[in-house]
């Protein structure tokens, strides 16, 4: 399976919490950012340790090796 970036305009994560109610991390790309990084979606906004983000694309985190 090939992981693909999803444009925010095309859809947002339908599942963003695990079975314990914790937010799931996603790999995101923001406007004006050179590198993707992990962030959380809470059903309304994208956030990380710095606050709300301007995310343009997202994808589930790949499985660890």
Of the pLDDT bands very low, low, confident and very high (cuts 50, 70, 90), residue 1 is: very low
What burial class does residue 3 get, using C-beta atoms within 10 Å of its C-beta: 0-12 exposed, 13-18 middle, 19+ buried?
Answer: exposed
Tokens of 49: 């340790």
- The pLDDT score that the predictor gives to residue 2 is 55
* pTM for the model: 0.88
Tokens of 41: 């979606």
**What tens digit of pLDDT does each residue of 25-53 get?**
999 999 988 999 999 999 999 999 899 99
- The pLDDT score that the predictor gives to residue 45 is 97
**What tens digit of pLDDT does each residue of 3-16 get?**
699 999 999 999 99
């Amino acid at each position: 399976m090939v992981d693909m970036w999803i444009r925010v305009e095309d859809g947002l994560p339908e599942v963003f919490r695990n079975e314990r109610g914790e937010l799931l991390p996603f790999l995101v790309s923001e406007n004006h950012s050179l590198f993707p990084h992990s962030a959380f979606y809470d059903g309304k906004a994208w956030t990380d340790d710095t606050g709300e983000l301007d995310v343009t694309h997202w994808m589930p985190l790949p499985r660890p090796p």
